[in-house]
Amino acid sequence: MKILLAEDQAMVRGALAALLSMEPGFEITQAENGDRALQLLREEHFDVLLTDIEMPGRTGLELVQWLLQQKSSTRSIIITTFGRAGYIRRAIDMGVNGFLLKDAPSDQLIEAIHKIMDGKRVIDGELALMALGEKDPLNDKERRALRLAGEGKATAEIAQILCLSEGTVRNYLSEAIAKLNAANRIDAARIARQKGWI
């Protein structure tokens, strides 16, 4: 079974890879960020994508969304330290096959991989309840613009990265600020990040 492990923290990635490679039949490929993971997904087929959410470049949720758009047979498991309702809700809505917290016992992760390969869905019960919380008011474009603004990027930079006009970016950011009742773009990014919406 070919598993792509996308995790930006080297120590966590190394520990997970070592743990998984002890399981008979598991072949692990590592990606240090979301962009590298996407490159690998484009180049070869993996049975499972095991990904963190927050990483440089593309997020784990963006990788899952890409798999969905490609109608890929690759199963996806998100493993994260962030049990935020917004993340869980978005992951479930995207059809992620598994969602586990990094502090779960290691045997639970291996069991989850086997279960999803058998066609089951594995989402920690406590996390599933959290997902029933507030609904994310942001659309994808507002979310991406807000995440870049939260990283300190100027409107012109965001426009260049997203291949949009500066006016369009300002509109997306204004909409996001209004939807979140925020004081400004930085405040909006902070609110959205706390709720797991970006």
pLDDT exceeds cutoff 70 at 175 = yes
Task: Answer yes or no: pTM beyond 0.85.
Answer: no
Q: How confident is the model at residue 183 (pLDDT cuts 50, 70, 90)?
A: confident
What would the mean pLDDT of 71-79 be, rounded to a whole number? 94
Q: How many angstroms separate the CA atoms of 29 and 63, rounded?
A: 15
Q: How many C-beta neighbours within 10 Å does residue 142 have? A: 23
Cβ–Cβ under 8 Å, residues 91 and 100: no
What kind of architecture, by CATH, is found in domain 140-195?
Orthogonal Bundle (1.10)
Q: What is the mean pLDDT of residues 26-31?
A: 97
Q: What is the arithmetic mean of pLDDT over 47-65? A: 93
pLDDT band at 130 (very low <50, low <70, confident <90, very high): low
- Predicted confidence band of residue 129 (pLDDT cuts 50, 70, 90): low
The answer to whether 1 touches 117, Cβ cutoff 8 Å, is yes
Report the alpha-carbon distance of residue 88 to residue 86 in Å, rounded.
6
pLDDT reading at 8 higher than 90:
yes
In this predicted structure, the answer to whether residue 40 has a pLDDT above a threshold of 80 is: yes
> What average pLDDT does range 166-191 have in this prediction?
91
User: Above 90 in pLDDT, residue 195?
Assistant: no
Side chain identity at 48, as an amino acid letter? Answer: V
pLDDT exceeds cutoff 70 at 132: no
CATH topology (fold) of 2-130: Rossmann fold (3.40.50)
Is residue 127 pLDDT above 80, yes or no?
Answer: no
Confirm if 43 and 15 have CB atoms less than 8 A apart.
Answer: no
* Residues of the chain above pLDDT 70, percent: 94
Q: Where are the domains of the chain?
A: 2-130, 140-195
